[in-house]
Amino acid sequence: MAKYKYEALKDNKDLVNGYVEAVTPRDAREKVRALGLMPIKVFEEKLITYELSDIADNRGSVKFLSLSEKMMLVSELHTMLGASISVVEALQTIQNHTPKMKVKRFAKEIQDAILQGKSFSEAINYLNHDVFGDTFINLCAAGENSGELDQTLGRMLVLLKKQDNIKGNVIRALIYPCILILMMFGLLVFFSLVVFPVFTSFVMNQGGEIPTFAKMVTGTLSFIGNYWWFCLLLILASIGGVIFLATNEYSRTFFDKLLLKIPLIQEFVNYINLSNYMCILSISYATGVPFLKGLNLASATVKNTEVRKKADFVYELMGKGTTLSDAMEKSHLLPGALVTMVAAGEKSGNLSKMLEDCVEVIDKKIDMVLQSLAKAFEPAMIIVLGIIVLIIAVAFMQMYIAMILSIG
């Protein structure tokens, strides 16, 4: 057995170090936890641990992989590495059998870099950094250091599948509103091109007068019909303007605060950010990434600036020696029930399991919020559709009455 040096937290606040004998780094971490300590760093003294270079580049030809392509690549690597197949052989197998050309090119470039002396994570960092990003690369580097790259890829696969599931749920929640919008559009087209022109022509030929409200409605529909391209450009420009303001450095804070004030939307945004944060924190802790670095990686996945401030505050408090549960309570990052779960994990020395349980609870909350949003959209869209139908019905009745009066 090898001799491992460790740095750990005692009672979640005092930094201690020592030595344990173990077969693998994972066994060493488990022995440290068995001592009632929270391991921060565990390494074999004679082993020089790999650290990623600060140089990140995108020299590879593949600049983007879809979520499904990432899942395919990570899934196949996880399966083959778990079967004790080398990374080089696994990448060669992917090249030979994958139907996706981008995945094939990606595997080829990474394989060539590994054959030239780079590690898996270093190759991705140098060639295709933006495809997976800092979090994935650093976790893979930690997995290589601990000899658990296959397990790290398995944990990342769970994260990718979760993101794919959330994406699917959001799309399914939007199907019904989209159908209603298409129905409204079809109704407007029918009345603007078929019904109102006939009534207008008849009333005008009979020397009658079209009521003001009906004239406004028919004029609006006529403008949309004649200048549909301008209306389409206006809609696209509005969407582009909102996206620009929501992503702009100076106005993004305002939009992020606004989202956290809208009922249901606030819960969805908050839980989506917390889901990514807690999942990466759980994976990094299980992989053996130093705890503060794991917090930093987790914070990097938080997109909402307001939630990010709370996550950064947790990192700051942990750096001062505060326990994780106390830091999350003081920052108001997690709901009270989840803070209690984290505190229980710290006291029992089973923090890894509690972090996983927190992720499961948050994912269930996301599903519940999505269902609530879908239920809220339905009556809202029905009300909007009803208002449009009412406007058209009133205009139609006025036109019909005008037609009868013109005949009389």
Please check whether residue 36 is in contact with residue 349, taking contact to mean a CB–CB distance below 8 angstroms.
yes
Distance CA 364, CA 360 (A): 6
Average pLDDT in the 213-234 region? 84
Phi, psi of 4 (to 5 degrees): -115, 140
Given a cut of 50, whether residue 344 has pLDDT beyond it is yes
Q: Higher model confidence: residue 87 or residue 142? A: 87
Given a cut of 50, whether residue 209 has pLDDT beyond it is yes
pLDDT at residue 45 in the model? 53
pLDDT at residue 36 in the model? 79
Q: Mutual orientation of helices 101-115 and 67-82 as an angle, nearest 10°?
A: 50
State the pLDDT confidence band at 46, using cuts at 50, 70 and 90: very low
pLDDT at residue 35 in the model? 83
State the pLDDT confidence band at 185, using cuts at 50, 70 and 90: confident
User: Lowest-confidence range among 8-22, 338-352, 383-397?
Assistant: 8-22
pLDDT at residue 51 in the model? 44
Domain range list for the chain = 2-44, 67-147, 159-408
Reference 333, options 312, 364, 360; nearest CA is 312
Distance CA 366, CA 272 (A): 7
pLDDT at residue 237 in the model? 92
Per-residue pLDDT of 116-129, as tens digits, reads 888 888 888 877 77
pLDDT at residue 56 in the model? 46
Per-residue pLDDT of 92-142, as tens digits, reads 888 888 888 888 888 888 888 888 888 888 888 877 777 887 778 888 887
pTM for the model: 0.66
State the pLDDT confidence band at 53, using cuts at 50, 70 and 90: very low
Per-residue pLDDT of 233-283, as tens digits, reads 998 999 888 888 777 777 788 888 888 888 878 888 888 888 888 888 888
> DSSP secondary-structure letter at 61?
S
CA angle at residue 138 from 135 to 142, to 5 degrees?
135
Average pLDDT, rounded, for the chain: 81
Distance CA 94, CA 266 (A): 41
- Burial group, residue 103, by CB count within 10 angstroms (0-12, 13-18, 19+): buried
The tokens for 78 are 């996880």
Given a cut of 70, whether residue 55 has pLDDT beyond it is no
Which residues on neighbouring strands pair with residue 7, listed in sequence order? 17, 41
> Which of 5-14, 52-61, 283-292, 341-350 holds the top average pLDDT?
341-350
CATH code, 159-408:
1.20.81.30
pLDDT at residue 227 in the model? 82
Average pLDDT in the 175-184 region? 80
* Residue type, position 186, single letter: G
pLDDT at residue 14 in the model? 67
- pLDDT above 90 covers a percentage of the chain that reads 1
Length of the chain in residues, anyone?
408
Average pLDDT in the 297-308 region? 86
Average pLDDT in the 364-388 region? 82
pLDDT at residue 324 in the model? 86
- Number of neighbouring beta carbons within 10 Å of residue 85: 16
